[in-house]
């Protein structure tokens, strides 16, 4: 039974993206070797990814798309996102993750109040992917590569140079309309906070019997409003998300342990093995046993 709390626990992705003095980090990924599936998650930093080669599936907010070589993927702060391999294909990418406060989002000046803080608080729309041929693409890509090189090589005064280049990227994104004002008045900052808290609650309690009505109550919403808001923010129903999260965790257990399929199903929140098999096949196109045999 899900334990009631006054408010849903507010947390985020556990990974540390830099430190308090330089809240920036870079990641070089090779699918399927770095990961096969990056489960749906969020963090308070902004993330920019350049697909260097290959292809993979991405989900940013409610947009699902295939990312290909040359694509620039934009993930705003607090936006749920995931990525996974396309069977038989590889993908190489470089990402930079940085906290908006590093660029002055919490300052008391016009650039912070007009641009950086609204972006950091999720009040602006951000285009999910920029492709070769789109306006400003070459300039944005070149500036990103320069920022990545600056961070990796740490040349003299790189701390200031890096800040300059990241700000330049944001200026370009605003200038070319890839970051713009939102006409969505339904998802307020407060609503976003409640949905992010619900996602974290699921992360912490996915193996338990989760109730939509109790989660809605903990969030302070009616059940219907909670379900509508969850779908609007995450791009799938709460039940679909819970099943997705449980299946991904179960898949890792199939790869990394020798526990039986039925035991793994029970551990990861499925008390019906037939339903577990059905959901697993829908996600991976094969049974759990077939999945395990292919990963050996």
The enclosing domain of 122 has a CATH number of 2.60.120.280
pLDDT score recorded for residue 220: 85
- Both 157 and 197 in one domain: the answer is no
The enclosing domain of 210 has a CATH number of 1.10.10.60
- Both 193 and 235 in one domain: the answer is yes
Contact of 136 with 176, CB cutoff 8 Å: yes
- Picking from 159, 181, 203, the residue at the C-terminal end of a domain is 181
- Both 85 and 104 in one domain: the answer is yes
- Both 175 and 270 in one domain: the answer is no
Q: Over the stretch 136-178, which tens digit does the pLDDT of each residue have? A: 999 999 999 999 999 999 999 999 999 999 999 999 999 999 9
Q: Is 264 helix (H, G, I), strand (E, B) or coil?
A: helix
Mean pLDDT of the chain, nearest integer: 88
Beta bridge partners of 279: none
CA distances from 232 to 34, 187, 238, 260 (A): 30, 8, 10, 37
Residue 44 placed within a domain:
yes
pLDDT score recorded for residue 183: 65
pLDDT score recorded for residue 70: 98
Contact of 98 with 116, CB cutoff 8 Å: no
- Both 177 and 222 in one domain: the answer is no
Report residues of the chain scoring pLDDT below 70: 1-19, 183-189, 296
pLDDT score recorded for residue 49: 98
Look up residue 13 and give its two tokens: 């992705």
Tally of domains in the chain = 2
Residue 264 placed within a domain:
yes
* Nearest CA among 81, 98, 97 for reference residue 41: 81
Residue 233 placed within a domain:
yes
pLDDT score recorded for residue 187: 59
Residue 91 placed within a domain:
yes
Residue 244 placed within a domain:
yes
Beta bridge partners of 84: 37, 57
Q: Which domain holds residue 147?
A: 24-181
pLDDT score recorded for residue 150: 96
- Both 174 and 30 in one domain: the answer is yes
- Both 272 and 217 in one domain: the answer is yes
Q: What is the DSSP string of 78-109?
A: T--EEEEPPTT--EEEEEEEE-GGGGTTTSSS
């Amino acid at each position: 039974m899900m334990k009631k709390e006054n408010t849903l626990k507010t947390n985020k992705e556990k990974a540390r993206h830099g430190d308090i003095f330089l809240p920036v980090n870079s990641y070089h990924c090779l699918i399927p070797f770095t990961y096969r599936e990056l489960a749906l998650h969020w963090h308070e930093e902004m993330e920019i990814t350049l697909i260097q080669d290959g292809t993979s599936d991405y989900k940013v907010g409610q947009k699902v798309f295939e990312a290909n070589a040359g694509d620039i993927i934009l993930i705003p702060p607090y936006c749920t996102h995931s990525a996974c391999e396309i069977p038989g294909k590889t993908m190489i990418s470089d990402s930079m993750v940085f906290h908006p406060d590093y660029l002055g989002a919490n300052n008391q000046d016009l650039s912070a109040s007009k641009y950086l803080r609204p972006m950091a608080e999720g009040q602006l729309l951000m285009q999910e992917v920029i492709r070769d041929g789109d306006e400003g693409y070459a300039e944005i890509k070149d500036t990103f590569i320069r920022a990545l090189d600056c961070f990796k090589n740490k040349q003299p005064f790189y701390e200031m140079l890096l800040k300059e280049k990241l700000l330049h990227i944001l200026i370009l994104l605003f200038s070319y309309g890839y970051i713009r004002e939102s006409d969505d008045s339904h998802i307020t900052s407060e609503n976003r906070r409640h949905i992010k808290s619900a996602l974290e609650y699921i992360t912490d309690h996915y193996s338990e019997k989760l109730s939509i009505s109790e989660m809605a109550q903990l969030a302070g919403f009616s059940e219907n409003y909670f379900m509508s808001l969850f779908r609007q923010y995450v791009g799938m129903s709460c039940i679909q998300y819970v099943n997705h999260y449980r299946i991904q965790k179960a898949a890792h257990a199939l790869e990394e342990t020798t526990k039986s399929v039925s035991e793994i199903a029970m551990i990861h929140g499925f008390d019906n093995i037939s339903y577990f098999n059905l959901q697993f096949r829908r996600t991976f196109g094969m049974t759990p046993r077939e999945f395990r045999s292919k990963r050996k």
